[in-house]
Amino acid sequence: MKILFAGTPEFARESLEALIVAGLRPALVLTQPDRPAGRGKQLAESPVKKFAQQHDIPVWQPATLKDSAAIAKLAAEKPDLIIVAAYGLLLPQAVLDIPRRGCVNVHASLLPRWRGASPIQAAILAGDTHTGVSLMQMEAGLDSGPVIATDTLPIEPDETAGSLHDRLAVLGGSLLVRTLPAILQGTRKAHPQNPRDVTFAGKIRTEDALLDWQQPAETNARKVRAYNPEPGAWFRFADERIKCWSAKNIEAAGHTPGTVIASGKDGIDVACSVGALRLTEVQRAGGRRVRGAELAAQLSLSGKRLL
């Protein structure tokens, strides 16, 4: 049977690799156009494109799949199935209708929880104790299609979005190759999502990662982990924006939120509405990541208010 694969970032590359290792080689890979990246803004190829080219799989990079020419090109491929993983382009109904077995999406949550663009970050922010991956039969709605299969893993207490992403990417590839034979044979049933359990995870904005000292320390600690590595949690001191890459909540009481109540070898302790957040790894603008103790030695912070 003929499989096409659509994906762009590292999360998708893991699924593509799993397919190739399992002998389920796609006939064509779709990925987003090369984008400027890095300080030099040089055009960069996606992880999926690089991997496909390394394995001599044809790559197509349309800017959209909504125009008639793109739809006609996909229809001419006569695929039995299109697998989608973090592709980043909308598949219109005309594309969803092309494959005989439809389009299957590898999604990094246990649907219907955390539909949308940032399910990994949302799970950490919410304090979920576990998450997983879902294989979903795609339809026109946002991650609303019936679920074919799921697999679960725990969220560790110190889990960052980066580490959770890597584990879910591997899990997604594994679930895909385990389930794909039954999907291709048409023997695997999909089950509708329960609308009462739906939650959404929208696109992340830089301002979402701003630490809020009026919130409990535990909430801010989750934010630090959820936005590591992108875009990085941050706060302001005077006119300077400083990122925080690692922190933990500690017990404290009786202090105005935002006040630095201790600053030394253990890090920088900032009062929150409940408890305090100990900043243990930080980064000034244009600088390198350093221990909180190093920033404490650079700046006179004790008793100061952070924004």
Instruction: Count how many Cα atoms sit within 13 Å of the Cα of residue 272 in the half-sphere of its side chain.
Output: 24
Q: Is the peptide bond before 62 cis (omega within 30 degrees of 0)?
A: no
What per-residue confidence (pLDDT) applies to 40? 75
User: Which position has the token pair 């001599």?
Assistant: 56
Segments of the chain assigned E as strands: 3-7, 28-30, 35-37, 42-44, 59-60, 81-85, 103-107, 115-116, 130-137, 147-154, 200-201, 233-237, 240-250, 260-264, 267-271, 276-284, 289-291
Q: Which CATH number fits domain 3-201: 3.40.190.170, 3.40.47.10, 3.40.50.170, 3.40.50.300?
A: 3.40.50.170
> What's the pLDDT tens digit per position in 96-141?
999 999 999 999 999 999 999 999 999 999 999 999 999 999 999 8
> What's the pLDDT tens digit per position in 52-102?
999 999 999 999 999 999 999 999 999 999 999 999 999 999 999 999 999
Distance of CA 189 to the CA centre of its chain: 27
What per-residue confidence (pLDDT) applies to 99? 97
CB of 280 within 8 A of CB of 250? no
CB-CB neighbours of 244 under 10 Å: 27
What per-residue confidence (pLDDT) applies to 162? 98
What per-residue confidence (pLDDT) applies to 223? 98
Fold of 206-298: Methionyl-tRNA Fmet Formyltransferase; Chain A, domain 2 (3.10.25)
Question: CA-to-CA distance for 186 and 176, rounded, in angstroms?
Answer: 15
Domain residue spans in the chain? 3-201, 206-298
Residues of the chain with pLDDT under 50: none
By CB atoms closer than 10 A (0-12, 13-18, 19+), residue 88 is: middle
Same fold, 3-201 and 206-298: no
Question: CA-to-CA distance for 202 and 225, rounded, in angstroms?
Answer: 17
Phi, psi of 138 (to 5 degrees): -75, 145
Question: CA-to-CA distance for 202 and 284, rounded, in angstroms?
Answer: 28
- Pick from 32, 145, 12: nearest CA to 88: 32
What per-residue confidence (pLDDT) applies to 125? 98
Question: CA-to-CA distance for 32 and 88, rounded, in angstroms?
Answer: 7
